[in-house]
A and B are shown apart, each in its own frame.
Chain A
């Protein structure tokens, strides 16, 4: 965990209230494995927790949705804007659990937190099978990056609720009864109803889910984001945001 001033080098709309921001700065503790940044927004009291999309030495990329006044202000930042950022926050996905046939499922902008993991799995020769679901094709802003991993062995399928891209339906429609035994690990991030449905349909499959919560500090001090799990109370910002699929108590989230 560290605090640094980053400089915005690019901040562009991708459609459907989604933006992609490039931030230059000290990335020593950024992993891009489902970890997150906590971004200070002038004029707002609390920071905004945003998952890392991609990290390279000296540059972090985030894909974020304008969900309220804070992220709207962020969307107005121009190149050269300086941003106070806490980095190296949270526990991300554990790629070592992938096995030889990992399944990656992302819903909406939740897909963004899975890109770094998917890329790492593809480059490691694990041939990740990716399912991405969106309400409409406008939201499928990270699709191209995932498609870029096909050459590295990833397979990518897409569904939309309105049928505007890929098949019409939900990500769970693409999961057949044999899939829980066919795959070795399930990584997922997306809206809670999607994660819940996914968990029900893949009970026999081990894996990791990334959760969201309203946070105070983002580094484990305030207990604002705590949830109850099979191992007791945990903080989404500290023990999470990525949790073992089996430890999530679906009545408690």
Chain B
């Protein structure tokens, strides 16, 4: 039974990743299990300067999911390179995915230029879709022009595969993907969270300090699946599928929609063993479905295949 896949030359033992923002820089999960079982994971969205993020409360619950308004809290690119990556190297011996956020094209360029030199990093995930920061972030990811501008600028200073993480909060995600692809994006991570809101009935005010937050969890899975499928249908490009993935069946469904690798996000927060459990469950589900090689199911739902 073969679970291996390749993302733009990056060989993965299996397609299961942990999504950025739900896995920190790995060390908390390494206290629960040996995280080398993962295909890889995408580290916490990192910016040039340290960021605290948004005021409390930052978390709200909803049916089959949650809202977060963390707002890209991270220690900054220098501390990540100096402290987090060496600490990670002790517990994770595979290539990691570097999720990079920013507030200007120059910041994305500088951050990506620095992380591109790190041998532990196998792939850069350009986060132009964080819904919880007020300048930059998602505003780069909601129009084809600005998404392409930042992608093109970053592509010029990087050598590693560059995947652009796109927002679902747009009218036409294919147009944005197409614009990024035209200037050199090697692939896409789909999707970031959907903007949502909850109100405290006792106060009549938002439950989140930021007002709104990003919806994730099983509630968004069909939306994510549809967007992965749309982009994979329109462009012959590798996609990392994510959004509400919680079981081995979801991984296979995402791959059939067109994803080459699949990330678990919020599921890690409610079950710290989620990625390991899914990886261990995959062979059994493959056997039941008569799948010998996971690569063979990639894009099964695409009309061009």
What is the bound-complex CA distance between A56 and B24, given in angstroms? 33
Binds B, one of A11-19, A115-123, A176-184, A218-226: A218-226
Binds A, one of B52-60, B116-124, B176-184, B279-287: B52-60
- Tell me the dominant secondary structure on chain A's binding face: loop
- Tell me the dominant secondary structure on chain B's binding face: loop
Contacts A219-B28, A221-B268 given; does A214 touch B21 at CB 8 Å: no
Please name the residue on chain A nearest to B23 by beta carbon: A221
B271 vs chain A, min Cβ distance (A) = 8
The answer to whether B44 and A223 have CB atoms under 8 Å apart is: yes
Q: Which of A86, A213, A221, A226 contacts B53 (CB 8 A)?
A: A226
Q: Which of B21, B44, B61, B269 contacts A44 (CB 8 A)?
A: B61
What is the bound-complex CA distance between A2 and B29, given in angstroms? 11
The answer to whether B272 and A224 have CB atoms under 8 Å apart is: no
The answer to whether B59 and A45 have CB atoms under 8 Å apart is: no
Contacts of B66 in A (CB 8 A): 45-46, 216
B63 within 8 A of A: yes
Give the size category of A's interface with B.
20 to 34
The answer to whether A217 and B57 have CB atoms under 8 Å apart is: no
What is the bound-complex CA distance between A246 and B70, given in angstroms? 25
What is the bound-complex CA distance between A45 and B273, given in angstroms? 16
Q: Which of A1, A45, A217, A219 contacts B63 (CB 8 A)?
A: A45
The answer to whether A217 and B272 have CB atoms under 8 Å apart is: yes
Please name the residue on chain A nearest to B208 by beta carbon: A214
A136 within 8 A of B: no
The answer to whether A226 and B24 have CB atoms under 8 Å apart is: no
Give 24 A-B contacts (CB < 8 Å), ordered by A residue.
Answer: A2-B32, A3-B32, A3-B272, A45-B217, A45-B270, A46-B270, A70-B61, A214-B57, A215-B59, A216-B266, A216-B269, A217-B269, A217-B272, A221-B22, A221-B29, A221-B269, A222-B70, A223-B24, A224-B68, A224-B70, A225-B56, A226-B70, A226-B73, A233-B52
Known A-B contacts: A46-B61, A222-B68. Give 7 more (CB < 8 A). Answer: A3-B273, A217-B268, A221-B23, A221-B29, A223-B73, A224-B59, A224-B68
The list of the 9 closest CB pairs from A to B, nearest first, reads: A217-B269, A224-B59, A214-B57, A220-B28, A223-B73, A216-B59, A214-B59, A221-B28, A221-B24
